[in-house]
Structure 1
Amino acid sequence: MTALHSAAAPEGAAEPLLRVRDLTVSVRDRGVVRPLVAGLSFDLHGGETLAIAGESGSGKSITSLALMGLLPNNVSVTSGQALLDGIDLPSLPEARMRAWRGARLAMIFQEPMTSLNPVQNIGDQLTEAIRAHEPVSRRDAAAQALVALRKVRIPEPERRMRQYPHELSGGMRQRVMIAMALALRPALLIADEPTTALDVTVQREVLDLLRELQTETGTAIILITHDMGVVAETADRVVVMRQGRMVESAPVETLFATPSQDYTRALLAAVPRLGAGAARAKPLPPATPAPVARLMDVQVHFDIGANFLGQATHRVHAVEGVSFDIRPGETFGLVGESGCGKSTIAKALAGLVPHEGRVEVDGKALAGLTVQGRRAICRDIQMVFQDPMAALDPRMTVGVAVAEPMVIHGIGTAEERHARVADLFQRVGLNPEQMSRYPHEFSGGQRQRICIARALSLRPKLIICDESVSALDVSVQAQVLDLLAELQRETGVSYLFISHDMAVVENVVDRLGVMYMGQIVEMGTRDQVFGNPRHSYTTRLLDAVPIPDPTRRMPPRPERDLDLPSPIRPIGEASRRVRMRNIGEEHFVAEED
């Protein structure tokens, strides 16, 4: 049942810029027509931000593609209208729609790396987009492109014009996409999950930028997201969708304060909130002389470049002097922005990359182990990766995939392995009858549960969760996190939980380390780091977390240099090490200049 709260039009807005009425988008599959979006209606005024929120499969992105005229061949608008300035977009022929794209409406996609041409430099891509819609010379188009890059606050825009997408960070690539979308001053901008793949600090910068540019240009924005914190930070009104239908539509303050539908209430309740972790605090596992894992002065370097003799000229200092231990039954977190070394530490701990320093698992050093010794270590450490679809073989049934580690290690008979897999499926909330299915027959959350079952099959002492819930919807994310906690209570397994989502980490970990440029800059218990952050970088991460409360919107942060220091140095040049000091009760903080 759809609930519609009365939403007043923005002051001074007589007619809506966009009027969507009873829009139905259907797919034709094997001769059967099935609706993906059914009877969707909403209005959008100039200068307004409308958030379309919901979980994966709710029809959010299909709606945006229908408005842009970019639907796949077997998907089409079967009824309804989408009127932009009185023109019905779905009824426009492709030639006219191509002229409208960019000029009157534009779109920012979720993953900028796949949206940008890898063999064209940034300047050529921007000028090409401008010249496709305006009769200007290449020189004038380049000048307009430079202005667009300056508007999105990219440092050294002249140099960026000559660079290729792979030479830019994720945040800068997203800014290039925003510059490209806004270069022709469109009336409507559709942003499809524009910050999902970004670190929390870069996400904050992109959201601030969109708000500033909207104030300057008066562009209307449709923001498509499943992150209710982002909705609270940016939206004026919200449309909540589920399974292709609108569940609820309301001004953002009304929706968060008094949601009328059970689904909306469940969606808001599943959002991880900073501060909620303290209420769930449990006794910290005691320090033991024999931790599950211990890292001492670990360094991971990668040599790159080559001179005319084929010798490396530079070195990537991915991890530089990291030390910590993980106790039995503990969840230890690693947080930080992309490229800080979190995943590299996980790979070093799992023996997947060469390292210097000492890494111990269950009291045994990884260095110098025989093949048999390494295989034994693999039984103690398992990993759950970010993308469960990529981690599962699409040609292998999930039952066989979960049993495979036991086959490799020669554990049990075929009947015993089958019984063990069936037990694991029940333990992670799946039906043993599903063991004969393939990965594509499951949802994202179910696939991640299968990966967790596979990790548990060898009864490991440590499971490394590398961004294992960041790609999941908030409700599915909450289910997986509850499952991990339940399994820890049952089996006593330890977790290394790696994430850039501070709100999720605060609800999960016992202790954590904050990483910056390959080094830990703060480490302590959850209450110490979240309740009393002492390093400026930790504070910056916490300040950037979107608050799922529209009455507490954060003001735009002061502009800062987007260029992080480079971890790449010439061979022989040492990296500067931070000095850690104990400020009390094992709360360690790096000294700052």
Structure 2
Amino acid sequence: MLEIAGLCVSVRGEDGEREVVSDLSLTLKRGETLCIAGESGSGKSMTALAIMQLLPQPAARISSGMIQLGEIDLATLNERQMQRIRGDRIAMIFQEPMTSLNPVLSIGRQLTESIEAHTDLSSAEARRRAIEALKAVRISEADSRLKQFPHELSGGMRQRVMIAMALALKPDVLIADEPTTALDVTVQGEVLELLRDLQREHGTSIILITHDMGVVAEMADRVIVMRHGRMVEEGKVADIFARPRADYTRELLAAVPRIGTGAGRQDLGQTIPKTLNQVALVDDLHVGFDLRGGFFGQVNRRVHAVEGVSFSIAPHETLALVGESGCGKSTTAKALAGLVPYQGDIVIGGRNLSGLGRDERKAVRRDVQMIFQDPYASLDPRMRVGDLVAEPLLIHGIASKQERRERVATLFERVGLSADQMDLYPHEFSGGQRQRICIARALALRPKLIIADESVSALDVSVQARVLDLLKELQREFGIAYLFISHDMAVVENISDRVAVMYLGQIVEMGTRDQVFSNPRHPYTKRLIEAVPVPDPAKRRPRFARLDQEIPSPTRKIGEPPPKLTLKDVGNGHLVAAS
């Protein structure tokens, strides 16, 4: 279906032109899934953009090579000729659906646009095909969805719309660039299963670009491993995992977190009294957001984001809060950090935030710091990173200017950076380095509790492993407690002491790491663990059971209470919800 020979892609920068893809050759057969794996900057996405002739102009260009689709060399086509092929014979699913979909056009308009551009169908016929495409990707009430806009859909549904758009014209080749990186593990399982179904039905050839080796093991027939723009290894998926030849491939596979490999930990729930020595105590936490509607904009509905959540965190302990997007994990974290209004009790270091004045709250919040998911969005691009790390000290009036600089230099060295890098700007660092800067900033005030909100989900697997090792090392050294928020169950199993599972704003299961992973009792917890792709082709599951509908909405009419759940102890502090 597709053959690439000697592809070179060059990018022009301040220092002249350099190659970001060098001498790449590959073939793709009908009905085959070829995975291109590697870290950020390895040239995976630039290869995909070169195939689609979507390289950013004029900075990037194909300097040499052939891209043969059937009898056509795509590298020789002009834009008008490429428009007839792009979307029709070859289509692409991008990584972030929210930025790939036009926010001011309805889903229906965006779906029918490409159908009308490549066929002679009437508007009514194009609409019918768009509805069929949405049904094919298991979107309920497809007819009414056409009128909705991207922001009205969940992340999983937006990604399915992108897949429907790509497959509406039944292309010969589908390029999926990190299609599941930002998705919850259960939605990821559904999307991967959907791609397999559509491949079986239409014989579509798939190029799947990813840094997740679990997804590679789950989906690939063949694998290409790239590094620094070059192919370092190619082979059948079973051979790559069982007998990797390149050192880099072995390093990549060794860094993959696997469920069942987490180091043994003491049962903190049994050894530390519940009422003593707690860094943080959350009791009956409620967070809701009013929605306005109607002609006069009156409050008529309420989002029950967090409903009756209680837990505690001890020194040296990592409590993982897991669940799908929209379950209330990040809202709980924001309430704990004082970023959203709440009802209930939050006690930090023995002091209840509800009864404190503004200055007292500011003092107590020194003990709680946060590491956000996107390090680049967390860092002011106009400030030097040394000033960013020193900012918390400046806000709280701690130390002189020279002392602050010395402390920041020490923090940089502690997180694996050099003091010489303090005068650089955020854009001059890699993603993993930026996350280390965020960790240094969180450590600046020597907090008792650090909230890590999806702090490694966007990182490559090898960078992720290094950041997790750093967090564990800092915990051993400083006695910090972590509230670790994630939807990646394999990562959670490797770092947590206790685990709390959230669903629709409530905790449905909580216990030690071993209790939850070895003996999950709630159906939702079981589904989360089953959804994790195993990084071993020999253990590839035959199918992943998809849900027929989206997770119910936490939005209810004013006065309508959410379903009440009671946590029951099923043994040794293992709590499971009962309706």
Alignment TM class, shorter chain as reference? over 0.9
What are the equivalent positions in structure 2 for 1:99-498 lying under 5 Å apart?
A: 99-277=84-262, 279-282=263-266, 284=268, 286-287=272-273, 289-498=276-485
Task: Give the TM-score normalised by structure 2.
Answer: 0.98
What are the equivalent positions in structure 2 for 1:12-91 lying under 5 Å apart?
A: 17-30=1-14, 32-73=16-57, 74-91=59-76
Which residue in the other structure is 1:96 paired with? 81
- 8 A Cα contact 2:49 2:55, kept in partner: yes
User: Secondary structure of the equivalent of 2:509?
Assistant: strand
- 8 A Cα contact 1:511 1:525, kept in partner: yes
Measure, in 1, the Cα distance between the counterparts of 2:466 and 2:266: 19
Measure, in 2, the Cα distance between the counterparts of 1:19 and 1:307: 57
- 8 A Cα contact 1:293 1:359, kept in partner: yes
Measure, in 2, the Cα distance between the counterparts of 1:545 and 1:301: 31
Task: Tell me the CA shift for residue 282 of structure 1.
Answer: 4.6
Which residue in the other structure is 1:524 paired with? 511
- 8 A Cα contact 1:287 1:327, kept in partner: no
Range with bigger deviation, 121-130 or 25-34: 25-34
Task: Tell me the CA shift for residue 31 of structure 1.
Answer: 7.1
Task: Tell me the CA shift for residue 254 of structure 1.
Answer: 0.3
User: Secondary structure of the equivalent of 2:299?
Assistant: coil
Which residue in the other structure is 2:571 paired with? 584
Which residue in the other structure is 2:540 paired with? 553
The 1:90/1:31 distance shift into structure 2, 3 A limit, reads farther
Measure, in 2, the Cα distance between the counterparts of 1:542 and 1:31: 48
Q: Deviations over 1:501-526 (max 9, x none)?
A: 00000000100100000000000000
- 8 A Cα contact 1:248 1:264, kept in partner: yes
Measure, in 2, the Cα distance between the counterparts of 1:480 and 1:412: 28
Structure 2: where are the runs of 5+ without partners?
none
Measure, in 2, the Cα distance between the counterparts of 1:214 and 1:459: 52
Task: Tell me the CA shift for residue 584 of structure 1.
Answer: 0.8
User: Secondary structure of the equivalent of 2:475?
Assistant: helix
User: Secondary structure of the equivalent of 1:305?
Assistant: strand
User: Secondary structure of the equivalent of 2:541?
Assistant: coil
- 8 A Cα contact 2:369 2:447, kept in partner: yes
Range with bigger deviation, 388-397 or 305-314: 305-314
Q: Deviations over 1:372-394 (max 9, x none)?
A: 11111121000000011111111
User: Secondary structure of the equivalent of 2:451?
Assistant: strand
What percent of counterpart residues are identical? 63
Which residue in the other structure is 1:14 paired with? none
**How many corresponding residue pairs?**
575
Measure, in 2, the Cα distance between the counterparts of 1:414 and 1:559: 57
Measure, in 1, the Cα distance between the counterparts of 2:120 and 2:225: 41
User: Secondary structure of the equivalent of 1:124?
Assistant: helix
Q: Deviations over 1:492-543 (max 9, x none)?
A: 0100000000000000010010000000000000000001000000000000
Q: Deviations over 1:129-162 (max 9, x none)?
A: 1000001110111111111111111111111122
- 8 A Cα contact 1:334 1:514, kept in partner: yes
Measure, in 2, the Cα distance between the counterparts of 1:543 and 1:363: 39
- 8 A Cα contact 2:190 2:545, kept in partner: no
Letter of the 1:48 partner, please give it. E
Letter of the 1:120 partner, please give it. L
Structure 1: where are the runs of 5+ without partners?
1-16
Q: Deviations over 1:334-374 (max 9, x none)?
A: 00000000000001101111111111111111113112111
Task: Tell me the CA shift for residue 413 of structure 1.
Answer: 1.3
Which residue in the other structure is 1:10 paired with? none
Measure, in 2, the Cα distance between the counterparts of 1:478 and 1:442: 18
Measure, in 1, the Cα distance between the counterparts of 2:528 and 2:103: 30
Measure, in 1, the Cα distance between the counterparts of 2:540 and 2:272: 39
Task: Tell me the CA shift for residue 311 of structure 1.
Answer: 2.8
Letter of the 1:523 partner, please give it. M
Task: Tell me the CA shift for residue 310 of structure 1.
Answer: 4.0
- 8 A Cα contact 2:138 2:548, kept in partner: no
Measure, in 1, the Cα distance between the counterparts of 2:399 and 2:353: 27
Measure, in 2, the Cα distance between the counterparts of 1:346 and 1:130: 44
Measure, in 1, the Cα distance between the counterparts of 2:179 and 2:530: 20
Letter of the 1:113 partner, please give it. M
Q: Deviations over 1:532-586 (max 9, x none)?
A: 0000000000000010001111122334223211111111111111111001111
The 1:164/1:310 distance shift into structure 2, 3 A limit, reads closer
The 1:393/1:535 distance shift into structure 2, 3 A limit, reads same
Letter of the 1:216 partner, please give it. E
User: Secondary structure of the equivalent of 1:313?
Assistant: strand
Task: Tell me the CA shift for residue 71 of structure 1.
Answer: 0.4
- 8 A Cα contact 2:267 2:512, kept in partner: no
- 8 A Cα contact 2:498 2:511, kept in partner: yes
Task: Tell me the CA shift for residue 590 of structure 1.
Answer: 0.4
- 8 A Cα contact 1:320 1:577, kept in partner: no
